[in-house]
């Protein structure tokens, strides 16, 4: 029996203990979510966010490190690679992606969404592989093909830790159970996908020269990354409803399969490798296609981000003119002057609408009273609107000069009783959204322009008001 076979029972036991530790992190998150209100404990929220963001990657790091049994890498090198991954995410990837890519999940239809996810995944995987290529790869410690797995997974885990922290902070400590589950799976996914692509770095260093090896590895990792992201996105695509079966479980299975492949590769290692050193020209040519893929992804992202949104325009009573995305569908409803809805996302809660109502239907006036103030009309409208929703919470209200006209704006969060404003919108649950009512009056008529953004898009800072152009007044 060789040493690797003798070590296998201990390896499986330690891996099982680590997985139990990961489950305890999720259990801890569940208990915290049920017992504490983190919205009013900012210091505690920060500490728990750091714990959930960093503990799962560290546990996974021990699992990956134990796979290197014959000639373990120096722990200091592995830990430094983990730190490098965190720095790459925060100091390089985050600034770049904010400039060259549209908002996450951008696009009016499914094809645009998939393209956006693929481009983000390609930028991530290219940066991660290049980071290993220009750091530990040139060290003498990188002396086995499987070292690419160890160092690649370490860098991927550091990258995942910062990504996880951003996600937890963005959600303000809410839905911790779901988020901690995502953290556990995404940490494994980033480690596995980058470990797999960097395994080809080992092949590149100790095998025959092949110009297409590294770009092929990046494309493979990109496909796995994008598929995992799409699966996990099913969790939050319909308001607050969490769909574990369609989100976490398939993504977890995908990550586990790739992890299993990496384990098999490490068990087949023969120890230190002897290979023919590449010439400078070969070294340059082997990594050049990866740079090409990265630059192409960034250019494509910039093109998408800066492409003008095609709009449709409608003119209505009261001098109201609205320009809205042409991909939205105009709805015919008797109680609206106009409504256009995004049927492809937001569960029908992404829409713009205009209502016309008489002042006397909102406020009872005596004969000697003049036209009420817009603030009074707004208060009456808010009461009426609140009765139409299952939940209504005004966030703020204020007067606003709009194109030289006096208007009154009410911003509020709502949960609707009906699933969607129009038939055909994808929403199996009541709609949750953030809305603005822009109120203006002309004579004895009141016009209410509503711009609604679904909850998912709002927390991702995709405000539909930025997609709508309004013009008020007779001119």
User: Do residues 138 and 107 make contact, with C-beta atoms less than 8 angstroms apart?
Assistant: no
Pair (161, 62) in one structural domain: yes
Pair (209, 144) in one structural domain: yes
Residue 52 has pLDDT above 50, yes or no: yes
Q: What is the pLDDT of residue 108?
A: 43
Q: How far apart are CA 58 and CA 388, in angstroms?
A: 49
Q: What is the pLDDT of residue 412?
A: 92
Q: Which of 278, 306, 334 is the last residue of a domain?
A: 306
Confidence of residue 106 (pLDDT cuts 50, 70, 90): very low
Q: If we measure between CA atoms, which residue out of 106, 110, 118, 111 comes closest to residue 426? A: 110
Q: Which of 306, 332, 355 is the last residue of a domain?
A: 306
Residue-wise pLDDT for 184-218, tens only, equals: 888 888 999 999 999 999 888 888 888 999 999 99
Q: In the chain, how many domains are there?
A: 2
Residue-wise pLDDT for 223-265, tens only, equals: 999 998 888 776 544 444 445 445 567 777 888 888 888 888 8
What percentage of the chain reaches a pLDDT higher than 90? 25
Pair (302, 389) in one structural domain: no
Q: If we measure between CA atoms, which residue out of 53, 118, 137, 128 comes closest to residue 93? A: 128
Neighbours of 348 (CB within 10 A): 25
Residue 16 has pLDDT above 80, yes or no: no
Q: If we measure between CA atoms, which residue out of 138, 288, 297, 295 comes closest to residue 210? A: 288
Pair (275, 217) in one structural domain: yes
For residue 10, the enclosing domain spans 3-306
Pair (232, 320) in one structural domain: no
More confident residue, 124 or 69: 124
3-state secondary structure the chain: CCHHHHHHHHHHHHHHHHHHHHHHHHHHHHHHHHHCCHHHCHHHHHHHHHHHHHHHHHHHHHHHHHCCCCCCCCHHHHHHHHHHHHHHHHHHHHHHHHHHCCCCCCCCCHHHHHHHHHHHHHHHHHHHHHHHHCCHHHCCCCCCCCHHHHHHHHHHHHHHHHHHHHHHHHCCCCCHHHHHHHHHHHHHHHHHHHHHHHHHHHHHHHCCCCCCHHHHHHHHHHHHHHHHHHHHHHHHCCCCCCCCCCCHHHHHHHHHHHHHHHHHHHHCCCCCCCCCCCCHHHHHHHHHHHHHHHHHHHHHHHHHHHCCCCEEEEEEHHHEEEEEECCCEECCCCCCCEEEECCCCHHHCCEEEEEEEEHHHCCCCCCCCCCCCHHHHHHHHHHHHHHHEEEEEEEEEEEEEECCEEEEEEEEEEEECCCCCCCCCCCCCCCEEEEEEEEEEECCEEEEEEEEEEHHHHHCCCCHHHCCEEECCCC
Pair (301, 363) in one structural domain: no
Pair (289, 336) in one structural domain: no
CA atoms within 13 A on the CB side of 58: 9
Confidence of residue 143 (pLDDT cuts 50, 70, 90): confident
Pair (346, 296) in one structural domain: no
Q: How far apart are CA 437 and CA 88, in angstroms?
A: 42
Residue 93 has pLDDT above 90, yes or no: yes
Q: pTM for the full model?
A: 0.70
Pair (346, 232) in one structural domain: no
Pair (295, 410) in one structural domain: no
Q: If we measure between CA atoms, which residue out of 355, 327, 326, 343 comes closest to residue 422? A: 343
Average pLDDT taken over every residue of the chain: 79
Q: Which of 271, 306, 341 is the last residue of a domain?
A: 306
Pair (292, 350) in one structural domain: no
Query: What CATH number is attached to the domain comprising 324?
Result: 3.40.1000.10
CA–chain centroid gap for 197, Å, is: 23
Q: What is the pLDDT of residue 4?
A: 47
User: Do residues 131 and 290 make contact, with C-beta atoms less than 8 angstroms apart?
Assistant: no
Pair (204, 55) in one structural domain: yes
């Amino acid at each position: 029996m060789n040493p690797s076979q003798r070590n296998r029972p201990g390896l499986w036991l330690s891996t099982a203990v680590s997985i139990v530790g990961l489950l305890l992190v999720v259990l801890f998150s569940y208990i915290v979510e049920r017992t504490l209100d983190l919205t009013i404990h900012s210091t505690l929220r920060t500490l728990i966010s750091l714990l959930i963001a960093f503990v799962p990657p560290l546990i996974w790091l021990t699992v990956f490190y134990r796979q290197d049994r014959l000639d373990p890498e120096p722990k200091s090198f592995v830990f430094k690679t983990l730190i490098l991954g965190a720095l790459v995410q925060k100091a390089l990837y985050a600034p770049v992606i904010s400039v060259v890519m549209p908002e996450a999940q951008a696009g009016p239809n499914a094809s645009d969404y998939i393209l956006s996810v693929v481009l983000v995944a390609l930028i991530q995987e290219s940066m991660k592989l290049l980071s290993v290529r220009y750091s530990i790869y040139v060290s003498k410690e990188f002396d086995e093909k499987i070292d690419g797995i160890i160092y690649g997974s370490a860098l991927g885990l550091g990258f995942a830790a910062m990504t996880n922290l951003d996600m937890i902070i963005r959600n303000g400590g809410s839905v911790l159970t779901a988020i901690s589950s995502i953290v556990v799976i995404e940490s494994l996914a980033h480690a596995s996908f980058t470990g797999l692509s960097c395994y080809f770095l080992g092949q590149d260093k100790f095998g025959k020269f092949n110009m297409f090896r590294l770009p092929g590895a990046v494309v493979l990792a990109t496909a796995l990354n994008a598929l995992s992201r799409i699966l996990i996105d099913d969790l939050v695509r319909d308001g607050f409803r969490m769909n574990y079966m369609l989100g976490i479980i398939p993504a977890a299975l995908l990550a586990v399969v790739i992890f299993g492949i990496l384990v098999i590769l490490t068990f087949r290692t023969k120890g230190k490798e002897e290979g023919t050193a590449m010439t400078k020209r070969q070294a340059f040519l082997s990594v050049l296609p990866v740079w090409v893929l990265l630059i192409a992804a960034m250019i494509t992202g910039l093109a998408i981000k800066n492409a003008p949104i095609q709009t449709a325009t409608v003119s209505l009573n009261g001098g109201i003119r609205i320009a809205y995305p042409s991909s939205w569908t105009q709805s015919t409803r008797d109680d609206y002057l106009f409504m256009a809805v995004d049927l492809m996302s937001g569960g029908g809660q992404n829409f713009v609408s205009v209502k016309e109502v008489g002042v006397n239907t909102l406020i009872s006036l005596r004969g000697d009273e003049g036209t009420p103030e817009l603030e009074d009309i707004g208060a009456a409208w808010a009461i009426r609107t609140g009765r139409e929703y299952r939940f209504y919470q005004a966030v703020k209200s204020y007067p606003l000069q709009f194109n030289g006209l006096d208007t009154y704006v009410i911003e509020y969060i709502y949960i609707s009783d009906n699933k969607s404003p129009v038939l055909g919108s994808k929403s199996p649950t009541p709609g949750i959204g953030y809305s603005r009512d822009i109120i203006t009056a002309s004579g004895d008529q009141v016009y209410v322009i509503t711009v609604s953004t679904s909850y998912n898009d709002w927390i991702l800072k995709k405000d539909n008001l930025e997609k709508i152009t309004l013009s008020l007044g007779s001119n």
